[in-house]
């Protein structure tokens, strides 16, 4: 199985359940792994045959920046659905981190895995 990844994609958004969180934009960090067979793009050397990580990143930046969820769990699920449905990815692992949310911790968040991981 091949993995296309995006590491530490930082996006500002409104996220959180507390009143003060609803009034400010916070930076979230996304680490994403996506199963994709890279044999064809490697053979053709054509970007049209790839899972274009720039396109995935741009779509998530646009979506997340315009969103306003209470829970990181909800946002993570929606982002994974976008990746799977719009980019035809069968398996995704997404780690969504909320830096500075808990005193003493570098970050908190969720990691979810959806789809069937190719063997």
Q: Which residues contact 53 (CB under 8 A, 6 or more apart)?
A: 4, 5, 6
State how far the Cα of 34 lies from the Cα of 88, in Å rounded to an integer: 10
**Has 98 been annotated as catalytic?**
yes
Q: Which residue among 54, 58, 95, 98 is the active-site one? A: 98
Q: Which residues contact 112 (CB under 8 A, 6 or more apart)?
A: 76, 77, 80, 93, 94
Catalytic residues: 98
């Amino acid at each position: 199985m091949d993995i296309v990844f995006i590491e530490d994609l930082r996006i500002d958004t409104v996220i959180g359940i507390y009143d003060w969180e609803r009034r400010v934009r916070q930076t979230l960090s996304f680490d994403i792994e996506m199963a994709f067979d890279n044999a064809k793009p490697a053979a053709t050397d054509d970007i049209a045959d790839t899972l274009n990580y720039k396109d995935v990143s741009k779509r998530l930046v646009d979506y997340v920046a315009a969103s306003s969820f209470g829970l990181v769990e909800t946002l993570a699920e929606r982002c994974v659905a976008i990746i799977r449905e719009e980019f035809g990815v069968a398996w995704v692992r997404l780690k969504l981190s909320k830096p500075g949310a808990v005193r003493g911790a570098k970050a908190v968040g969720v990691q979810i895995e959806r789809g069937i991981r190719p063997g």
